A = this chain, B = another copy of it.
Amino acid sequence: MEEGISTEEKILKAAEEVFIRDGYDGSRMQDIADVAGINKALLHYYFRSKDKLFEKVFDAKIQGFFPQVDEVFNQDILFIDKIYFFIEGYIELLRKNPYLPLFVLNTVNSKDKSEFIKKLPIQLSRKVAESYQTDLKKGRVRMLNPAQFIISLMGMCIFPFLAKPILLDMFQADNVTFDALMQDRIQELKTYIKLILQP
């Protein structure tokens, strides 16, 4: 654990690591303290409870689950190009935060944290749908169900990171080849999207 950062920050970094690795139920306050290199009582001094600490970590990480769509979708460009940019951005983001999807999905699926769903900055569906309708009217894209399209797009981006251990086994891959696969996947998904969208 590095010098020069506050105890609060040490705790947040350690908590993030442990919560992501072990999940909420599997995480121990003593483990977080050990990783942070501090006395366990400080966790309560600074954050009051395990719940609140988790919430703080979740709040910090959640902003990354849905990348800022404004920059992409407010541009005056073709819908399909917006989707390309989205794919590039999202897969890059997931490559840097490969454990994020499972962390978020576990949280929103857990029964005592389902209200955390309200914390998700979900503008994606609206932005995509509006942008899609614009291009549909101009005959630039095929008619399809925007909701289903968004689900598919997200599924194709996110799923491999969730299923990484399975895919490593399935394709006799290691971390290096998996990452290359994810790199290649950007182009692959663009191809699919083009085939699906072009009228």
Contacts and interface: CB of A to CB of B under 8 A. Distances in A.
A17 B151 CA distance: 27
Count of this chain's copies in the oligomeric assembly? 2
B144 A151 contact: no
A111 B150 CA distance: 31
A160 B162 CA distance: 13
A117 interface: yes
Contact of A188 (B114, B120, B148): B148
Contacts of A154: 159, 163
A76 interface: no
Interface in A107-136: 108-111, 114, 117-118, 120, 122, 124-125
Interface of A: 21-26, 102, 105-106, 108-111, 114, 117-118, 120, 122, 124-125, 144-145, 147-148, 150-152, 154-160, 162-167, 169-171, 181, 184-185, 188-189, 191-192, 195-196
A185 B148 contact: yes
Contacts of A166: 105, 108, 117, 120, 122
A114 B125 CA distance: 35
B102 A171 contact: no
Nearest to A185: B148
Contacts of A23: 23, 25, 106, 110
B105 A191 contact: no
